[in-house]
Amino acid sequence: MRIETKPEHEIDASTHEKLRELLCECFPGYPSRTHYKQLPHLRFLVWEDGALVAHMGIDHRMIRNGDTPLRIFGIVDLCVAESARSRGVASKLLVEIEAAARSSEVDAILLFADDPRVYLANGYQKVSNCVKWLMINEHETLGVAEKPVDEMMVKMLSDGAWGEGAVDLLGHLF
């Protein structure tokens, strides 16, 4: 198994096709492309015998938690092919992103998860904040949403604590 880190703009057409197939396999109803709302800045790709078996997109941005601006990595579309599940691949990806975040002085890693088990096992906590984000659908801006989001999870890396105040994503929901 080999983990490759690639900026989005360096991914070739063949890899994009494999990525599209993986995302559609792992997320029923996923659009037939390699992103849901917006392109991630960076991708972690896991290869095994020439096959793409896992993916994790990363959105690097500033957000606001209450009155505190935070540098974050947002995890986008972490998925593992059925053939590679139950072998710790997702946990290995989470270790990789945490190492990259710590070396980049990122304050927190943030994500939205329907199934929190792998994240809880890796030190993430569920948080319930009111969240503001830019609504995007099919490459069109629809407005700004603001409401509580129960699927949000965070792992603080800096000394500060995650606040209970409103969270402004300063962009789209990833």
| Domains of the chain by residue range | 2-172
Would you state the structure tokens that stand for residue 54, as one six-digit string?
């896992």
What is the percentage of the chain residues whose pLDDT exceeds 90? 98
What is the Cα 101 distance to its own chain's centre? 13
The rounded distance, in Å, linking the Cα atoms of 62 and 84 is: 33
Phi-psi category of residue 105: left, alpha or beta, with phi > 0 → left and psi -120 to 50 → alpha = left
pLDDT > 70 in the chain, percent:
100
Q: Mean pLDDT of all residues in the chain?
A: 97
Give the residue among 41, 47, 53 at the shortest CA–CA distance from 171: 41
Rounded to an integer, the average pLDDT of 48-66 is: 97
| Each residue's pLDDT tens digit, 97-156 | 999 999 999 999 999 999 999 999 999 999 999 999 999 999 999 999 999 998 999 999
Please state which CATH number belongs to domain 2-172.
3.40.630.30
What pTM did the predictor assign? Answer: 0.95
